[in-house]
Amino acid sequence: MLFLLAMSAAGWPMHGDPGFLVFCQLLTVLSCQAMGALIFFLSRDPARSLGLAAAYAAPGLAFMGVTFPATDMTLPARIWRSLLPVSHYIDIQIAQINYGAPPFQAQPQIENLLLFIIPVLLTVILAVKTMKSEPVTEAGT
């Protein structure tokens, strides 16, 4: 949001709906957090989780489809791209800022972001299993 405000202050035009874009940013953040939580609960090791999350997200900038068109990516690259929430958001951002596309045109990307509810559900299942299998300890003991 700060980037969008700075670009607006610098005089760059915003052709779309900024409120819709902020909503999509929120969906993207929640999707990223869902994937981070899932990675943590799969490994249950904070250090390993950070490494796995970095490996998962590192290709994000390259696979967003901004500097290299997604249509020219190989199938494995397109599959990885589809697993990254930011790739769905960036399509919405470009359509909103550059072209002023109506929000309904972002329906496929919104649906893809909403699919990240699946990692949330898996994380809840893993968290419940973890709570049942590990005894609760008092702080400081």
pLDDT tens for residues 83-139? 999 999 999 999 999 999 999 999 999 999 999 999 999 999 999 998 888 766 666
- Give the residue among 23, 73, 89, 34 at the shortest CA–CA distance from 56: 34
Which residue's entry shows tokens 């299993």? 129
Question: Does 63 fall in a domain?
Answer: yes
Question: Does 131 fall in a domain?
Answer: no
Question: Does 11 fall in a domain?
Answer: no
Q: Angle of helix 107-114 relative to helix 85-99, nearest 10 degrees?
A: 160
For the four alpha carbons of 129, 134, 137 and 139, in that order, the dihedral sign comes to negative
Question: Does 102 fall in a domain?
Answer: yes
Instruction: Quickly state the pLDDT bin for 59 (edges 50, 70, 90).
Output: confident
Give the pLDDT of residue 126: 94
Mean pLDDT of 62-76: 87
Question: Does 9 fall in a domain?
Answer: no
Note the pTM of the prediction, 2 decimals.
0.85
| Domain count for the chain | 1
Question: Does 7 fall in a domain?
Answer: no
| Tokens of residue 5, six digits | 């405000």
Query: Helical H runs in the chain?
Result: 2-9, 18-43, 46-57, 60-63, 75-82, 85-99, 107-114, 117-133
Question: Does 125 fall in a domain?
Answer: no
Instruction: Decide: 41 and 126 in contact? Cβ < 8 Å.
Output: yes
Write out the residue range of the structural domain in which residue 72 sits: 16-46+54-118
Question: Does 133 fall in a domain?
Answer: no
